Amino acid sequence: MNDALAFSANAVFPIVLLTAFGFVLKKAGLLTAEFLDVGNRLTFRVFLPVMLFCNVYRIGRLTDINIAFIVYAIAAVLVIFLLAVMVCCAFTKDGAKRGSLIQAIFRSNYAIIGIPLAESLFGEKGAGAAGVMSAFCVPLFNILGVVTLTLFNGDAGRKKADIKKILTGIAKNPLIIGTVSGLCTLGLRELFTLARIGFRLSDVTFFYKALGNVSSLCTPFALIVLGGRFEFSAVPKLIRDIAFGTAARNVVVPFIGIGAAYLMRDILGISGEHFASLVGVFATPAAVASAIMAKEMGADGELAGQLVVWTTLAGTVTVFVCVTVLRALGIF
């Protein structure tokens, strides 16, 4: 058990410390509100797309992908999404709050926390499985996010969903653009392999190295910005909504997503590196991008921001418990 606790601490605490560092910098006056707003946009529009592109491109071969592992994750996310819609509609009649709550429940902070966590848990194999997963789950999270915030926002119930707006929002989402670009480049590499063409993107050393440098900036920068955005003043008036969303995201979702995978592990043919990725999908807190999108698309941006904060705080315990239990069960 001591080994499991030490393993969990080494995987989780570096992420916690970077987030806490951002909070301390904000309190010290070194991070202004304007800087944090720009940092959010920079992360969402540049750093995250580049990181996702690089993670997808680093996948070895398309034939190496465990299809059952991917299908399970997609199916589980869709089930959790549908459950979130039903439960949140019963929980509140406020359309703007519904959108923010639904997003916080099904949409994890996979890109910023989940991927580095998977690498921390299972090394290169964990990073590889996480890269494969990002090619499917990140677009799914963003598509469902756009659909959710189009159907549930401040105007919900007063106008019909605009299908064109939904599709446009999906197509223009920077995270989807980054992931799809990686998939297209990966597909082109596969064609080159079949045609016995030796050229690869990595052969353009200066460009590939520059991409890698930008990608490596993403996680520490995003975590520092996340810590800097922690605000506690709005808690009293939103306490009921925060408690509901946090409990759903940090307790119910990991229990469903990871618990079912453990029971089906022999059927799915999954092992440690796959579970490292699943912890990133189901046990990490609500996505930082969910608060940005909620604010831009008319949902309750204040609630969405608080849910990111509180699911992140509670997520420290959630991830620690999940990793410790899986380690004790011999998965890691």
pLDDT (tens digit per residue) in 38-88: 887 888 789 888 988 887 787 766 666 778 889 999 999 999 999 999 999
Q: What is the pLDDT of residue 139?
A: 80
Q: Tell me the range of 73-77, 218-222, 288-292 where mean pLDDT is highest.
A: 73-77
pLDDT in tens, 302-324: 788 888 888 888 888 888 888 88
Q: What is the pLDDT of residue 157?
A: 45
Average the pLDDT over 235-263 and give the result: 92
Whether domain 2-328 has CATH 1.20.1530.20: yes
CA geometry: angle at 169 spanning 69 and 91, to 5°?
70
Average the pLDDT over 275-299 and give the result: 82
Confidence class for position 158, pLDDT limits 50, 70, 90: very low
Is the pLDDT at 326 greater than 50? The verdict is yes
Q: What is the pLDDT of residue 4?
A: 56
For the chain, give the mean pLDDT.
Answer: 82
CA separation (Å) from 318 to 244, 259, 263, 275, 321?
Answer: 16, 13, 19, 15, 5
Is the pLDDT at 135 greater than 80? The verdict is no
Count CA atoms closer than 13 A to 23's CA, side-chain side. 13
The closest alpha carbon to 113, from 322, 304, 332, belongs to 322
Count CA atoms closer than 13 A to 113's CA, side-chain side. 36
Residue 321 amino acid letter: V
Average the pLDDT over 13-22 and give the result: 82
Q: What is the pLDDT of residue 164?
A: 73
Q: What is the pLDDT of residue 73?
A: 94
Average the pLDDT over 253-275 and give the result: 90
**pTM greater than the 0.85 cutoff:** no
Q: How far apart are CA 211 and CA 206, in angstroms?
A: 9
Is the pLDDT at 7 greater than 70? The verdict is no
Average the pLDDT over 195-224 and give the result: 85
pLDDT in tens, 85-110: 999 999 988 888 898 999 999 999 88
Say which residue, 24 or 299, is predicted with more confidence.
24
**In this structure, which long-range contacts are made by residues 91-98, counting pairs with CB atoms below 8 Å and at least 24 apart in sequence?**
91/244, 92/241, 94/300, 95/152, 95/153, 95/154, 95/155, 95/156, 95/157, 96/152, 96/153, 96/154, 96/156, 96/298, 96/299, 96/300, 96/303, 97/241, 97/299, 97/300, 97/303, 98/152, 98/156
Residue 244 amino acid letter: F
